Amino acid sequence: MASASWAYWQTRSRSTVGVSAPLTTASGPVSEINPGQRGRPVTLSGTTLTDESVNLDTLRGNVVVLNVWGSWCAPCRQEAPVLAQQSDGLKDQGVRFLGINVQDNRPAAQAFERRYGISYPSIEDTDGRALLSVAAFVPARAVPVTLVLDGQGRVAGRVVGIVDAATLSGLIESARDGLPESTTSA
């Protein structure tokens, strides 16, 4: 299944037809999927670091930025301020953020969120179930990874490694393709 999903990854050029290698930027390898080739919606649910239930189905209609991270991960610490700022700045524009915290204990993960001002929820994924839900798009043992889901919950873009603000903004804009005007207007 992972190889079938990978066959749809495109470079950042939407006019590209067929398969090509992901674009590599300062952010790391960046991939984008054209709207007509995005496949099925991601199914993901779990319990956050504050013991609340979260389910991606409740976020349909919004662009969702899904970030896989760990407090022990130096690149995660580098990108955290960008994610916190983007999350706060895009709330009113139909963009939601959700983290998947991997291989962490709760106190370390919560301290990380406080230190970097992360206000969006993160799934506590000590058992690996959340990561398994996105395994077709997240390379094994790759942290950080950021997925951008379109309003239907389908993966529209991915950054393996540190995401920067410009790359994230571009992927979010691309993921807005096909959303109703009321969702994408500020």
pLDDT in tens, the chain (186 residues): 332 233 233 333 333 222 233 444 445 589 998 898 898 999 999 999 999 999 999 999 999 999 999 999 999 999 999 999 999 999 899 999 999 999 899 999 999 999 999 999 999 999 999 999 999 999 888 899 999 999 999 999 999 999 999 999 999 999 987 554 444 443
- In terms of DSSP H, where are the helices of the chain? 2-6, 74-90, 106-116, 129-133, 165-175, 181-184
Supply the pLDDT for residue 28.
58
First to last CA, the chain: 37
Kindly state whether residue 103 falls inside one of the protein's structural domains.
yes
Supply the pLDDT for residue 3.
29
Kindly state whether residue 131 falls inside one of the protein's structural domains.
no
Kindly state whether residue 98 falls inside one of the protein's structural domains.
yes
Q: What is the pTM of this model?
A: 0.82
Place of tokens 């991960």: 73
Q: How many domains does the chain have?
A: 1
Query: In a 3-state reduction of DSSP, which class is residue 176?
Result: coil
Supply the pLDDT for residue 49.
97
Kindly state whether residue 134 falls inside one of the protein's structural domains.
no
Supply the pLDDT for residue 10.
33
Kindly state whether residue 61 falls inside one of the protein's structural domains.
yes
* CATH number for the domain harbouring residue 69: 3.40.30.10
Kindly state whether residue 186 falls inside one of the protein's structural domains.
no
Supply the pLDDT for residue 18.
29
Supply the pLDDT for residue 142.
86
**In 3D, which of 40, 29, 49, 50 has the Cα closest to residue 139?**
29
Q: pLDDT of 95-145, one tens digit each?
A: 999 999 998 999 999 999 999 999 999 999 999 999 999 999 998 888 999
Kindly state whether residue 78 falls inside one of the protein's structural domains.
yes
Supply the pLDDT for residue 13.
33
Supply the pLDDT for residue 141.
80
Kindly state whether residue 16 falls inside one of the protein's structural domains.
no
| Domain region containing 116 | 2-9+23-125+144-178
